[in-house]
């Protein structure tokens, strides 16, 4: 979300945002207690105290280092990944759960050689040829542009990851938060 956040701050320079990366359970807990105004989560879940506002869906793609044997392909069947070394999210992270389910459904076994809690570490591990990964396409534009990562699309399926804004049900937004939510939800399809 770096580009939309930068655009928002340019549009509203008087607003100060405090951004923090946190585990998904902590985000839900902090929002539910009212400790934070908003959370942005993948695969948002409904809870009685949480209001979910859909934001967008990210297209997930396979990435590898340019020197990797798969780098010569532009498209692959997911079944062709059987046995490849996978770098992915730690257990308990919703994106990991969704990807594990997709791999099982297609009968693909990929040993995890590294499990981490953020996309930046996944990208760096793929760049040094520790394995391949499946990540949101918007998160790798700089690396693809610089040539440090290669994208391979799946020819037999499209994997989408929903993102949502979560807030405490019944808690009114401040004007700044309302502007932020409107900005993100109006721009979401083009982000």
pLDDT in tens, 68-90: 999 999 999 999 999 999 999 99
Q: Say what percent of the chain tops pLDDT 70.
A: 97
Averaged pLDDT score across all residues of the chain: 92
Q: With b meaning 16 or more CB within 10 Å and e meaning fewer, what string describes 101-136?
A: ebbeeeebebeeebebbeeeebbebbbeebbbbbbb
pTM for the model stands at 0.87
Q: How confident is the model at residue 1 (pLDDT cuts 50, 70, 90)?
A: low
Beta bridge partners of 60: 136, 159
pLDDT at position 190, please? 47
Tell me the three state secondary structure of residue 177: helix
pLDDT in tens, 40-72: 999 999 899 999 999 999 999 999 999 999 999
């Amino acid at each position: 979300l770096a580009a939309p956040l930068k655009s928002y701050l340019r549009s509203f320079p008087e607003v100060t945002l405090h951004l923090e990366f946190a585990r998904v359970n902590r985000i839900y807990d902090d929002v539910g207690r009212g400790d934070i105004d908003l959370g942005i989560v993948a695969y948002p879940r409904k809870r009685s105290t949480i209001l979910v506002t859909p934001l967008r869906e990210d297209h997930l793609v396979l990435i590898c280092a340019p020197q990797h044997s798969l780098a010569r392909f532009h498209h692959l069947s997911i079944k062709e990944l059987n046995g490849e070394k996978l770098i992915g999210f730690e257990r308990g992270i919703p994106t990991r759960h969704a990807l594990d389910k997709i791999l099982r459904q297609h009968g693909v076994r990929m040993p995890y050689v590294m499990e981490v809690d953020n996309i930046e570490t996944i990208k760096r591990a793929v760049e040094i040829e520790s394995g391949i990964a499946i990540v949101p396409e918007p998160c790798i534009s700089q690396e693809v542009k610089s040539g440090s990562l290669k994208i391979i699309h799946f020819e037999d399926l499209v994997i989408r990851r929903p993102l949502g804004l979560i807030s405490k049900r019944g808690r009114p937004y401040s004007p700044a938060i309302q502007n932020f939510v409107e900005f993100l939800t109006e721009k979401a399809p083009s982000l």
